[in-house]
């Protein structure tokens, strides 16, 4: 008797992405998208109501930031694997998400076959780190004694989150609304970010983010 397919919920605000993944996984016998969510709040609500074997989480959605959604999932559903789905191919950013609990970080341009293989590995209880991520991790470990952190590595998770939003050109009021925090809190974080990274303003943050692949 064949084992029932693993139940997957995908959170992505683009219908074409959800449909594309549905089409890809419908060709498999062991993986099935059984539910969808258009934002982080909707995803968390559905996780409280039904059982799923895997979450595919888009990195950029309206409302609650994916980093916050990931943290909430790992707090409330610690054993539930989460795969981050993103157009951002920056490996340092990917490692940060994996270190925060994601089981894998997949670029949306990956091939259908590679995507299926990664998802199968994750639902079996493993983490997936691609060769570039693995090389970067090993390089960091080999240089650990004399390793000097890059400016963005000095930031807390919340500061890094706000750094990326500032680099995208969002105003403090927009970030405050998106993250559901006060404008003063955003301003305080911005001051700390600039100080830690040694920058004088948002233009330098944006330049750094572009150079290091955090925004495109």
Let me know if 8 is exposed, middle or buried by CB neighbors in 10 A (0-12, 13-18, 19+): buried
Q: What does the longest C-alpha to C-alpha distance in the chain come to?
A: 64
Helix residue ranges, H only, 58-111: 66-76, 91-99
* pLDDT tens across the length of the chain (216 residues): 468 899 999 998 888 888 999 999 999 999 999 999 988 999 999 999 999 999 999 987 777 778 889 999 999 999 999 999 987 767 777 888 888 899 999 988 889 999 999 999 999 999 998 888 787 777 666 655 555 677 888 888 788 888 888 988 889 998 888 887 889 999 999 999 999 999 988 999 999 888 877 776
Residue with tokens 């590595």: 153
* Separation between Cα atoms, residue 125 and residue 103, nearest integer Å: 9
* Separation between Cα atoms, residue 150 and residue 198, nearest integer Å: 11
Contact at 8 Å (CB) between 63 and 178?
yes
Residues in the chain: 216
Q: Which residues pair with 55 in a beta bridge?
A: 9, 82
* Separation between Cα atoms, residue 84 and residue 81, nearest integer Å: 10
Q: DSSP for 164-212?
A: HHHHTT--HHHHHHHHT--HHHHHHHHHHHHHHHT-SSHHHHHHHHHHT
Q: Which residues pair with 107 in a beta bridge?
A: 86
Q: Which residues pair with 105 in a beta bridge?
A: 84
What are the counts of helices (DSSP H) followed by strands (DSSP E) for the chain? 10, 5
Domain annotation for the chain: domains and CATH numbers: 6-137 (3.40.50.2300), 151-211 (1.10.10.10)
């Amino acid at each position: 008797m064949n084992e029932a397919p693993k139940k997957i919920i995908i959170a992505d605000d683009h219908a074409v992405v959800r449909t594309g993944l549905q089409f890809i996984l419908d060709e498999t016998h062991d993986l099935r998208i059984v539910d969808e969510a258009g934002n982080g709040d909707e995803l968390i609500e559905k996780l409280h109501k039904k059982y799923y074997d895997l979450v595919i989480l888009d990195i950029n959605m309206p409302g609650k930031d994916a980093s916050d959604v990931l943290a909430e999932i790992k707090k409330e559903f610690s054993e539930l694997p989460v795969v981050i789905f993103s157009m951002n191919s920056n490996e340092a950013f990917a490692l940060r998400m994996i270190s925060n609990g994601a089981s894998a970080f997949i670029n949306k341009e990956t091939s259908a076959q590679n995507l299926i293989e990664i998802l199968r590995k994750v639902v079996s209880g493993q983490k997936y780190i691609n060769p570039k991520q693995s090389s970067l991790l090993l390089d960091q470990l080999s240089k650990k004694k004399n390793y000097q952190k890059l400016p963005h590595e000095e930031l807390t998770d919340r500061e890094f989150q706000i750094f990326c939003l500032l680099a995208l050109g969002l105003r403090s009021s927009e970030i405050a609304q998106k993250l559901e925090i006060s404008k003063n809190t955003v301003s305080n974080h911005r001051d700390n970010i600039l100080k830690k990274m040694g920058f004088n303003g948002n233009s330098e943050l944006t330049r750094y983010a572009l150079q290091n692949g955090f925004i495109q």
